[in-house]
Amino acid sequence: MKRHIICVLSLFCSTFIFAQSEESTVKKDTTFLEEITVIARRKLSNYRQEKTLSSIDDYLEKSNKITMIKRGNYAWEPALNNMNSERLNVTIDGMQIFGACTDKMDPITSYVDVSNLQKVSVGSGQEGAENGHCVGGGLDLQLPNSKFFDSGLKTSVDFGYETNGNYKTTGLDLEYSGDKFYMNADGIYRKSDNYDAGNNSEVIYSQFEKYNISLQTGYKLSENHTLDANVIYDKATDVGYPALPMDVSLAEALITSVTHHFNSDSTLVNSLESKLYFNTITHIMDDSKRPIVPIRMDMPGWSDTYGFYSKAKIQKHKHAFSLNFNGFYNRSLAEMTMYPNDSNQPEMFMYTWPDIRTLYTGIYAKDVFVLNENKTLSASVRFGFHQNKIAEEVGLESLQIFYPELNDSKNRFLSSFSTDYTFKKEHFDYSFGLGYGERAPSVSEGYGFFLFNSFDNFDYIGNPTMKNEKALEGNVKANYHKNKLHIGIESSYFHLMDYIVGNIDNTLSPMTIGANGIKVYNALAYATIFDVYVNASYAFSKTISVNGTVGYNYGKGSNNESLASIKPFSYLAEFNYNIKRFNAALQLEGNGNQSKYSNFYGEDETPAYAVLNLNLGNELYTKHSKFLLKYGVENILDTSYSTYADWNNIPRQGRNFYLNISAVF
């Protein structure tokens, strides 16, 4: 026995020594498959990000892989690889945060604004599992890094105006940066009236008003240690949802965190980042602005999350390890009170989310191993323990109507694995990856109680007995660039097992007046989702360039029905003109006919469309300040259209002239 131990030990030591003697050629590029959208607001950028004051939603929509599902002009829901919120892991700087609306009217991207963030990192499939479990991918909205620049006080102001919807935006940003202390305060205010679709037809209930303030401050404790604190307060009022029977009178979020950073080149652990966080969301739906409704109702919801994470990075020879230990505790509660038209009858009340407590702890590890100059192999795993508990006795009793044997808590173990191989040469690179991931049903999918979905006009009932949804994925990516030409292809294939979807139960009668029936969440044996994007760009000269992207998506379930919300054939072409301090871009963007729409899941066929946009930008300098002007026309031809991702075919904006002015002092 002893000999065995010695043997193993010496073997271990020898590999260690062997490894040490290798040349250290690790490159920092560990995020190859990740797509990062940098929120470079006050810079001239000729690549699709035209407005300084674009909302987060606008920014995300410009990203290749992300589509935004729209229920109105505000709070769009991001979808990645044709999968939306439940199948994604969306975090704010690694912090878990969950919307408080049972009808997904408040994706968490609606609670932050561009002024809060530095970049959005998009991980497709299991590449997105760093902060939590997902099957479709992960989106991390990253807060700015510490700013010990010693640059003193900097002030910026932004103004924006758009003709369509009389949309006004104002932003103010104050930043003080010393070498041991910094502080950044910013605020942004947005207000829009109803917008007009093509041909000047007003889309009623598409107004919104919101403001967002944030404060970030940091102190350098010593050479290696810093402490940062961040508070974001976001409040939207009077938000209309033209695609839904209700609006939102309040969507309020308080997002707070304290982060400790440790950085050192001389220790084993190169960096250690630990965060404690808390966020709370209040979301109040009401229908008081709607003149005619079958019945008046209030639907408030609350979501509180407490959590932590600790991320370590270890750079050792050819290996770059990262570890992430994290956990959170969430409380989701939503209720519904209906007021009968006959005032003699009492109010009707139910819990739509019966105070569901979710506890999660998990650990993630990733190793990027540089085989040689050209080849990199990486592998990652995540394991976690996930528990749901119904805290409200009334809620448990409610759900026992459907599941008489139901217990108040359910434990799940979740796992995720991925590996990918990257090859890079001067003129081309390619990578392919394999992944396996699991996710627990969301609160709505597991515990929702008569949640009305206006997309297919069904009431949904959660199903706590469902298995974890599992995804097996493969992806390939290849790029070729030579001289002024660039061609890239990117494709993912997902085989999802126990794919969660609502199934019509004909024996049940709907609660919502006018609903078609009841769907109970259940699992298809499997579903497949496939997407492929080809992009190309060519630079004729330093000033003139063109680029274009085409995409194709496919999704089918084991019942041989097309899945819902699968993007049809899409394309985007852009012509750029770019000189010092001025740029211009003309864009053509469109979708093909949605021929593979899912009648079975309540979709109708969305016709093809194409829109033309023109964006211009100027940069001006004075002695002490910089001005940035961005202006243009969206939907130049005033096309009347809606996309597959628009609920109830609510038409999108018609022609819109916009102007953004930014000044930095």
Q: Which residues bind other proteins (CB under 8 A)?
A: 294-295, 336, 338, 340-342, 345-351, 394, 396-398, 400-402, 404, 449-450, 507-514, 518
Look at residues 53, 56, 82 and name the one whose alpha carbon lies nearest to residue 527: 82
Token digits of residue 222: 């010593």
Nearer to other proteins, 244 or 336 (CB): 336
Nearest-approach distance from CB 344 to other proteins, in angstroms: 8
Nearer to other proteins, 251 or 461 (CB): 461
Distance CA 119, CA 139 (A): 10
Nearer to other proteins, 130 or 298 (CB): 298
Instruction: Please list the residues that pair with 153 across neighbouring strands.
Output: 176
Nearest-approach distance from CB 335 to other proteins, in angstroms: 10
Cβ contacts of 537 within 8 Å, gap of 6 or more = 485, 486, 545, 546, 547, 548
Nearest-approach distance from CB 578 to other proteins, in angstroms: 59
Distance CA 281, CA 104 (A): 13
Nearest-approach distance from CB 337 to other proteins, in angstroms: 9
CB 169 within 8 Å of CB 190? yes
Nearest-approach distance from CB 298 to other proteins, in angstroms: 13
Nearer to other proteins, 504 or 534 (CB): 504
Nearest-approach distance from CB 499 to other proteins, in angstroms: 24
Cβ contacts of 560 within 8 Å, gap of 6 or more = none
Nearest-approach distance from CB 564 to other proteins, in angstroms: 25
Nearest-approach distance from CB 105 to other proteins, in angstroms: 21
Nearer to other proteins, 347 or 373 (CB): 347
Token digits of residue 175: 């930043």
Look at residues 426, 434, 368, 354 and name the one whose alpha carbon lies nearest to residue 397: 354
Nearer to other proteins, 308 or 452 (CB): 452
Nearer to other proteins, 153 or 513 (CB): 513
Nearer to other proteins, 125 or 354 (CB): 354
Nearer to other proteins, 350 or 489 (CB): 350
Residue with the two structure tokens 């093909």: 592
Nearest-approach distance from CB 245 to other proteins, in angstroms: 13
Counting Cα atoms < 13 Å in the Cβ hemisphere of 590 gives 12
Nearer to other proteins, 103 or 228 (CB): 103
CB 64 within 8 Å of CB 535? yes
Nearest-approach distance from CB 327 to other proteins, in angstroms: 29
- Let me know if 323 is exposed, middle or buried by CB neighbors in 10 A (0-12, 13-18, 19+): middle
Token digits of residue 603: 């979709």
Nearer to other proteins, 450 or 601 (CB): 450
Token digits of residue 135: 């099957």
Compute CA distances 245 → 75, 97, 107, 577, 638, whole Å: 16, 26, 18, 44, 27
Nearest-approach distance from CB 284 to other proteins, in angstroms: 19
Distance CA 427, CA 539 (A): 16
Nearer to other proteins, 513 or 608 (CB): 513
Nearest-approach distance from CB 409 to other proteins, in angstroms: 17
Counting Cα atoms < 13 Å in the Cβ hemisphere of 371 gives 11
Nearer to other proteins, 483 or 507 (CB): 507
- DSSP secondary structure letters along 432-491: EEEEEEEEPPPHHHHH--SEEETTTTEEEE--TTPPPEEEEEEEEEEEEEETTEEEEEEE
CB 543 within 8 Å of CB 577? yes
Instruction: Please list the residues that pair with 520 across neighbouring strands.
Output: 461, 503
Beta strands 582-591 and 609-621, pairing class: antiparallel
Per the rule left: phi > 0, alpha: psi between -120 and 50, beta: everything else, 461 is beta
Cβ contacts of 151 within 8 Å, gap of 6 or more = 177
Helix, strand, coil shares of the chain as percentages rounded to 5? 10, 55, 35
Would you mind telling me the total number of residues written for the chain in this entry?
665
Nearer to other proteins, 348 or 525 (CB): 348
Nearer to other proteins, 60 or 399 (CB): 399
CB 268 within 8 Å of CB 311? no
Look at residues 171, 176, 209, 213 and name the one whose alpha carbon lies nearest to residue 661: 171
Look at residues 184, 154, 189 and name the one whose alpha carbon lies nearest to residue 171: 189
Nearer to other proteins, 338 or 440 (CB): 338
Burial 205-243 (b: 16+ CB within 10 A, else e): bbbbbbbbbbbbbbbbeeeeebebebebbbbbeebbbbb
Counting Cα atoms < 13 Å in the Cβ hemisphere of 213 gives 2
